[in-house]
Structure 1
């Protein structure tokens, strides 16, 4: 059975990644591509690397006949996304890649994103899209909110450890490096080649990064009490990938065993042998997550490192994994591409 798919926001990095993955999907067919700023152009004109695909030209989202669409991916900026999604027919399933429906409390959204939420009824309906931990709810959902890429990486490390009460909840430090594509495709001075290459920098230091809202929400719910981690992201001079390093108080063997048990049946999460650490090179262009555990030289302290591709497993690949569940097809369909190396 073939399912008809639309993408709103098809001219951004996550839109292009969705198209790349959907191009070889066995049962999804792209019927409409919307990018209001580039409406009327061919996909090949916007993304020459996809010019070999026979796909419809870009249109405005208002031009799409949603009666003919089974599922829509929405890859728009926050605030814009909720405005568009609230106008879509109730018959269409939606996977949102923005931040608009990740936080369950409207006040949390106001706190982290600076404005009131304009679709609170849909906010209540949305299911958080971290597939491995919300699989059953995602399968039944009409609206799924994709996670932040940084938030996903940190949660793959920390959720099993918090859930099993294996680490000191008041002593969690997460240090993360993200490739420049995580900042989106729009022009920004600090992302110019001369400003970014041959260097790196920390940003949103001291607890201002918006993905902390997701960490607070998810970790506190798991622990049954408030959990606030220290988190510092860094912008790296590479195109795609996230490498996250967590420093926790606990026992290394117990941490490794918990991660192995949590992900033993997961097709996309690989836990490495004790002492090995992952590289972004090893997951580039794929939907895989690699996690490594190392005992610190000081007893009772553990270092856990995770790598994923921010555009794939951190965003578009996760979105497709969720869409597969929502439409009742094999969860891994279209996603078993091997990483691209070197």
Structure 2
């Protein structure tokens, strides 16, 4: 996610070293309550997608990430270009390039998620770099006004967050369709810029989605590592009223966090969420205006060399999509 703009307006965070670890190592780094919950997620719910949601330690307030270089490079280097499914693979029935409509594809005939609707929101848009006037336009997010969208961040080598989010989102769509879900992408690289954060929320609301996940990567300081899932705070004001979605969104976020650890081996963030992998925010239009369960996931920090090595690896992005998918499946199956 962009570390400056409508979805992140950062304050500096202390840098603490935490390496990429396997699940056993994670158990030594995170609070005991998180360890017990993760073990339950892997052993108890991953096999059948069932069971009640278990709470991670409560996140206190909203924490943002530290700022880095605010002007990421537009194009990816050859060695870091999106691979393994990054091309536009819109299926028949989806949106045509340039249509500006969300991309929806036909669900599998059968599967455990048959009848369920999932909206995937790939953060930012590769074209935002050429449309700064449009994305800087102020929009109403219920509690106040913010910019329509931002460009997002990038690795130091030039692999952009917008490219990353599209690749992971397309992989995620395929995995969910294999489970029988009807899946819509908020944007599929098929529109010149945007959509704005308020429109992103409306797309999920109009679809009456059972779950919405916004895919991002962070742009924090080097040494800040790991993933975190952003949950909606209780917000009421203007068109914003998150009271019906706070609890189910937390359940969705907890399931995604637990499965993301298992699938990727990544540790929860060492700079956001106090080791829980969860963060509560009240300043994000995409969450404030949502009427259906929705979370954001920051899959890692693009400005840290070790995290960037993961984010630019196609095989790791597939595992990231798998972890998010399994979290969604677990949530929707109850």
TM-score where L is the length of structure 2: 0.29
Higher share in strand = 1
Larger radius of gyration: 1
TM-score where L is the length of structure 1: 0.28
